[in-house]
Structure 1
Amino acid sequence: MNTGAQTPKSGGLSVRDVNLTFTPVNRPPVVALDRLSVDVQPGEFVCVVGASGSGKSTLLRLLAGLLEPTEGELLEDGALIDGPSTSRAMVFQRDNLLPWSTVRANVAYGLTLQGVKRREAWAAADERLRAVGLGHVGDSYPRELSGGMRQRVNIARALAVDPRILLLDEPFAALDAQTREIMSSELLRIWNQDRKTVVFITHQIDEAVYLADRVVVLSAHPGTVKEVVDVPFERPRNLSLKREPEFGRIVDRIWTLIEKEVRGSLGLETADLSTGASDAPAS
């Protein structure tokens, strides 16, 4: 049950029978995605998990308009996605902040590119920095911030252009385990303010279950939807949820769906999977 947040006006996504085939020079074609279909409702937080090679990041780049499908279509609120748009903002694994610019100028960068006057852009940047708990660092430089703070700046920069949809490609992958846990909670706090549509890519199953309304599980080689798992926990959530038995059961269920492919990607196809013991990875 979702409570205490605004309902977004729009931001729905539809992926319909998408195929993406790469054709490298002097090499056989590679089918990255095959007949992949999934819908994301406005204001929904959806996480995508799968073994390496399942096309998670490829799917995100298609949604961002950075790639075109070989077949099928991607829609935002019923309109064809045929390129990048200010209604969709992407957050990458690396923050890619401009080291010569202040934090405020980094957050305002997208607005500046849109022609927004500096005073207005900086005011919007300060507002977003306050929203992510960094209102005091606007005059600092990226090198003066911790990894977790830099990623919050990265998220603030994406939010500054006020997109309807946030596309996050493993934004916490480079952080240590403890910082990653705190950043997951921070992301939910930020998201709860206006409930933008979120598609979040992660390798960490417990992170996905903690964050998401639904978890889309992809198969590998080629990527397609294996299962969509509903997450029943009420919001707001805190990290103690991870100690609940039902949380562990959902994590184990998802791990069971992808374990064979994960082992295969490591060359462990012959490993004995019959013990029933859970070794689902956790962040």
Structure 2
Amino acid sequence: MVNDNKNLVLILLVLAMFTGMTVEISEGSTTVGVLLLLSSAFLLTRINFKDLSDSGLLKTSKTQFILGIFIVLADIYWNLKKGGEFGTLDIMAVFFGLSLVGAQLRNIDIVRISKFGMYISSVFIVLYLIFYTMFAFLNIDFMHKFDHYFILLPTVWLLGLTGIPLEVVATETVRLSGVEEMTVIIGGPCSGLYSMFLLIGIVLGYSRIENMDGRRTLKMLGFCIAIAYVSNLFRVIVLYLTAYLYGQETMMEVHTHIGWIIFAGVAALIMYFINRQK
């Protein structure tokens, strides 16, 4: 029981740090992002997984090793050729490639990190391609509707209870009159789906390696996604309040860091729920 509790604490800390890494590298401080990545990698080596040899996780493959190198080099080459910036999907693709490579090495700690990284990154990539790429290709207007009905309207209504003036001027845009007049766009990363995708990957990876039963896994997924959604609403409200009280520049600074910090704070609630399900 003590080891299980320790594992859960470490998993949730890794979740918070890994979420922070993706945000910091793509939108904030690269240095902070790298430090968070290294810290999460170190914490993964402290997790006492069950015997990996029993589940076949130590099997190696030259094909996967070559494929991993190809994915990393192809993503880097594509972005350099197009002159674009590395986005969250690019980071996940590179992370998946590096995980494929690391899973073929003989160091047990590296294998643990890599196998877990494969679950996180692959789940994120699949969900990203479904919700952001396939839906767009099929002209399914899911993202705008989700941002409008599940993020923007609830946060505007909640903040409106305090008397702060907010006006919905578009599907994902509100006008805010505080220390300065401004418009705030609630879309893209503000939907909180990136964090949910990462969370799902963490839970499924942990479930697979720990051989958890399906019922407990579903409970973990349901509760964690609910917590992720509520915490994202809180994050958006904090951004509104920051913009109202201190202006747009301060709001953008807070926007860069607040998401993964909130995840670190709710990790304790998630751990409490998971422990109750034992």
Q: TM-score, normalised by structure 1?
A: 0.25
Q: Which has the higher contact order (CA 8 A, sep 6+)?
A: 1
Q: TM-score, normalised by structure 2?
A: 0.25
More helix, by proportion: 2
More strand, by proportion: 1
